[in-house]
Structure 1
Amino acid sequence: MKKAITSLLALCLALSLTAVPASALELEEAKELLALHYVDGLAPEILEMGSLDEILEAIGDPYTFYMTPEQYEAFNTSVNGQTVVGIGATAETAFNGGYRIMSILPDSPALEAGLQPGDIIVEVDGTQLTAETDPRAYIGGLEGTQVVIAVLREGERLEFTITRRAVSIPIVTYEQRGSAGYIKCISFGSSTAGTFAEAIGAMGDQTAVWIVDLRSNPGGDSNATASAAGYFIGSGTMLYFRDGSGRYQYTYTMPGFPDLTDDPVIVLTSEHSASGSELFAGDMRAYGAGIALGQRTFGKGTAQIVLEESNCSYMVDGEAMKITAYRFFAPDGATNHIVGVLPTLLISPENTEQAALLLAQAKPARAAGHWKLELAGQTFYLDPDTEEKAALSELLEALPPSAKLYQGDRTQTWELIAPSQAAKEAGVGFTARTLPDTADSPYGREIDTLTTYRILSGYADGLFHPKDTVTRAQFAVMAASALDLPAGKAGQFSDVAEGSWYAGAVSAMADMGFLSGYGDGTFGPDDTISHQEIVSVLSRVAAWSSMDGFSLADADLSVEELARFSDYADWAQIPARNLEALEALVEGLAPTDPGTRETAAAMLCRLMESTHLIWD
């Protein structure tokens, strides 16, 4: 389940930063700007509050905030890459028991001291941090001075004494690693695209596969992201923005934008990859330029405008305000908000880099002794005779049903081989992510896809039981897992016990408006859910998660469609039409019959594939 959403603001800041004060911006001016630009609209009672601090707290959006002149200068520095004095880390601006570190800069005091991404900063120089304190005010300081930082790491409290110094922010670095052109990018700023072009030009002749490492990249400027992606794609639309009224804008690379390489891209992702990183990965997916490998990304799918002196007369003396004004979507219409980007190959953090390098081999002169992998429209070659046994094992386990693995023989003969058999011949372990009782199901492919991506799991007996009916609680857990929803508010339904195995998923689905309870305040977790109820829920999911689903939700039924879906209840006819249009509807099911685990899995998987939440 997802934790609090974050934003890119560096902790490598100057001494002058203080905790966020009351703004110089007039309150009524701030209210006007928020009412005009905020993507979800604001309730009148919020706009009637007596201070900007109260309003921002009530909105509860960590991406909408006021910046003093010093903070705005520091923000631009962190995104665009400069030299500053500090410890060299980026962290959350949202408090969640502390401030989570998102990334550590290379050659920085934080790196040398042993701080790690994921550490939660809880105390600085003896001062306990709270939601009201700005950690930058305590961590910043003069060069050569020391700061003591306490963090929580997997529940253990650790302290680090760090000497502040000037830190360069090299937002893009690159190196040749065998046949891989390895590009690491920690932010998308003004220098990013140029350095990407430089890297491709410098390494292109020696490169068979590009590895773009975005594991420590929490985002940046959308235009910089589009340009960097464009060098692997060429000209085209790179992302869509939708405002609160449903109108779209888009960012694109101009006709004739240079496509500098045709070699496949492997994007490395982690739970710290957010915003621009997710957009870059979505571009690679939408244009068939490569795959992603690693962990599911963070899930920031909103875009902010920055109002400052150059574009807003209310702002003076270098102050600024950042407001969430849009939801954004990849060129294929998929959101990454909350759901993140699910990588093509779901690999643990410890094996991500080595697994990518295993795929970064040049095409061998002879097939014998090598493997060929066809995945998501790309072809990769592997040498199974590797010392990286753990990475090879996990890579084979992570292959979805759509992947095709071949074993080489003689000069250019390739024969299909099952991943389990390949593991056996390579002498590495193999633990299947699929379950043994799905082979006879007509929806075995869909079930196996979802279990490979660890969206679904079986019972304690190790089986999936495809034919079993699915309850409302079970389906809520399936869908919430697919969307990576954070647990919702407890106590919404009288018959959903807090702490039950399904409580978080039920409340999450209810919070999103995907599922509702009965009129008496109950949910009925053990009740079966009918096919048409599943269809209705997934249609709402489609409208939220994709541009196509959003447009379908507002379309009336034609006369022909009314006849075709007449077996469905009135409230389920448009949802059924929507899922059919998205190629997610399972045909031949009686709408009022109870859903089964296999049919629920089939529709969920097909919807994720058609809306590009699964990379295929």
Structure 2
Amino acid sequence: MLKKKWLIMPLIVVSLFFSQSSFAANTFSDVQGKKYEWAAESIDLMVKKGVISGYKDGSFKPGNTITKAEFVHMFHKIFPEINYSDGKSSEFVDARKHWANKDFAAIFNGDYVWSFFEGLDGQYPDYKFSIKPDKPLTRWDIMMISSIRTNFTDQTLHPEIEDVVSAASNYKDIKVRPASYYDNFSVNYPVIYIDQDEGEYYYDGDSQDFKAEAFYTLTNMDIITANNGYLRPKDFVTRAEAATILHRLYEATQN
């Protein structure tokens, strides 16, 4: 009996956030008007595709933030063809009993387990990866997840490191740091370390080149955009923003 209850709970949680809604974006009481007109088309498309839904009271709550699990579930909904699970549970230890376990497994298993989210949970020799699925999603998280789609469709750009450095200079909150600066994981930025003796650029750490490519690709494709020169990588993502970014990504990668 306990096992059956455990199985029912994820279905309830998923239906609250992502079931097909009977509301169109132009009927949501809190999407009408100028404040969210920039997101109305995207919300409408995502609702029609069953990626996200409104609430029973007729609202959408566009300004509410979302969690990593909620976005990964949405991402898997709009791009169901991406599936690296191989029939296995998520390789993130804290997602294995989560309601979004299958979504995390499909998107991140195998070579797609990227530790840029939270780093390693534990020490050698176990290498237990954690994702903290119920933690609020940041704009940097969303960029990293979205880059999986561009990689899947062979649309990820592979710029020279000098091009990444130049692109980073366009944003006031994306940093290029000298080699003497110690940053173990650089979760929020594609940190680029500079060889000061030779005057050459190089990435530090196995994931740095991936992060740099994700940053460069998603900004060049206008999937993630800046406001007054700020990319705001640490900001939490709202439901309206998530719908808009998924809409842009969906259209940009259809061909």
TM-score (ref. length: structure 1):
0.27
Deviation, structure 1 residue 600:
2.1
Give the alignment of 1:247-286 within 5 angstroms.
none
Q: Decide whether the 8 Å contact of 1:565 with 1:576 is kept in 2.
A: no
Change (3 A) 1:576 1:477: same
Q: Decide whether the 8 Å contact of 1:473 with 1:526 is kept in 2.
A: yes
Q: Decide whether the 8 Å contact of 2:68 with 2:134 is kept in 1.
A: yes
TM-score (ref. length: structure 2):
0.60
Structure number with greater CO (CA < 8 Å, separation at least 6) is 2
Alignment-derived partner of residue 177 in structure 2: none
Deviation, structure 1 residue 460:
5.7
Structure 2: 5+ residue stretches without partners: 1-21, 122-127, 175-188, 191-207
Q: Does 1:537 align with 2:133?
A: no
Q: How many Å separate the matches in 2 of 1:513 and 1:525?
A: 19
* Aligned mate of 1:583, from 222, 236, 242: 222
Deviation, structure 1 residue 560:
2.9
Alignment-derived partner of residue 89 in structure 2: 490
Q: How many Å separate the matches in 1 of 2:113 and 2:61?
A: 24
Q: Decide whether the 8 Å contact of 1:531 with 1:593 is kept in 2.
A: yes
More helix by share: 2
Deviation, structure 1 residue 474:
0.9
Alignment-derived partner of residue 204 in structure 1: none
Amino acid at match of 2:152: W
Alignment-derived partner of residue 186 in structure 2: none
Give the alignment of 1:407-446 within 5 angstroms.
431-434=22-25, 436=28, 437-439=30-32, 440-441=35-36, 442-446=38-42
Deviation, structure 1 residue 493:
2.8
Give the alignment of 1:200-599 within 5 angstroms.
431-434=22-25, 436=28, 437-439=30-32, 440-441=35-36, 442-459=38-55, 461=57, 463-484=59-80, 485-486=82-83, 488=85, 489-490=88-89, 492-498=91-97, 500-511=98-109, 513=111, 516=114, 518-520=119-121, 521=128, 522-545=130-153, 547=154, 549-550=155-156, 552-553=157-158, 555-558=160-163, 559-565=165-171, 567-568=173-174, 569-570=189-190, 571=208, 572-588=211-227, 589-599=231-241
Deviation, structure 1 residue 513:
5.0
Q: Decide whether the 8 Å contact of 1:586 with 1:599 is kept in 2.
A: no
Residue deviations 1:99-131 (CA, integer Å, cap 9, x gap): xxxxxxxxxxxxxxxxxxxxxxxxxxxxxxxxx
Q: How many Å separate the matches in 2 of 1:432 and 1:553?
A: 41
More strand by share: 1
Structure 1: 5+ residue stretches without partners: 1-430
CA RMSD of aligned residues (A): 2.7
**Identity level (%):** 23
Change (3 A) 1:480 1:515: farther
Q: How many Å separate the matches in 2 of 1:516 and 1:460?
A: 36
Bigger Rg, structure 1 or 2 = 1
Residue deviations 1:394-447 (CA, integer Å, cap 9, x gap): xxxxxxxxxxxxxxxxxxxxxxxxxxxxxxxxxxxxx54446133342322212
Residue deviations 1:511-560 (CA, integer Å, cap 9, x gap): 27556454113220111121112112212321212x4x23x135544253
Change (3 A) 1:530 1:580: same
Deviation, structure 1 residue 506:
1.4
Alignment-derived partner of residue 279 in structure 1: none
Alignment-derived partner of residue 193 in structure 2: none
Residue deviations 1:301-344 (CA, integer Å, cap 9, x gap): xxxxxxxxxxxxxxxxxxxxxxxxxxxxxxxxxxxxxxxxxxxx
Residue deviations 1:331-358 (CA, integer Å, cap 9, x gap): xxxxxxxxxxxxxxxxxxxxxxxxxxxx
Aligned with 1:469: secondary structure?
Answer: coil
Aligned with 1:564: secondary structure?
Answer: coil
Deviation, structure 1 residue 562:
3.0
